[in-house]
Amino acid sequence: MGRSIVELEAIIRNTVCRVCTDRTTTGECGREDPTSCALFRLFPQVAEAIQTVDSENISDYIEAIRRNVCPVCAEQAADGSCEVREQVQCALDAYLLLVVEAIEEATGKTFERQGLSAAGTGQPVTIGRPVQ
Ligand code: SF4
Ligand code: SF4
């Protein structure tokens, strides 16, 4: 897609951190340990997942993220469950739609939203659950 990992991370930080509930009023990550944020702790895998896909279908990008990121994340249990995800503490999972929008910005593509929301509720499908 012609974007470096550094550029991609900057775009996604600008999109996601800006609205993240963990962000402080001064614009810093408010987590006790900012490196615990799976979105950026595993950003090379996130970026690789994005960059290895050449598709107009956003579901392909979501599936690639699932395949490449969660299995190498220390938070995922052997059965595929994730306590962090269940507690809505994974920024990658919680802000997946914004990550997707950042991908659109980075690639200049507009993806179909089919599979991104559950039956028109507008609720994003999270990376730990099947795409409908
Ligand atoms: S938790 Fe992650 S997404 Fe949220 S402000 Fe910190 S680094 Fe950004
Ligand atoms: S959902 Fe869980 S396993 Fe997947 S990236 Fe987030 S913290 Fe890691």
Mutate to test the pocket of ligand 2, among 65, 66, 82 (most ligand atoms within 8 A of CB): 82
Query: Tens of pLDDT along 94-116?
Result: 888 788 778 777 777 776 666 55
Does the Cβ of 75 fall within 6 Å of ligand 2?
A: yes
Q: Look at residue 124 in the predicted model and tell me its pLDDT.
A: 46
Question: Which has the closest alpha carbon to 39: 77, 90, 105, 3?
Answer: 90
Could you tell me the residue ranges of all domains in the chain? 5-107
Tell me the whole-structure pTM to 2 decimals: 0.76
82 lines ligand 2 (CB under 6 A): yes
CA distances from 38 to 29, 101, 124 (A): 13, 18, 18
Q: Whose CA is nearest to atom 3 of ligand 1?
A: 17
User: For the segment 14-25, what is each residue's pLDDT rounded down to a tens digit?
Assistant: 889 999 999 999
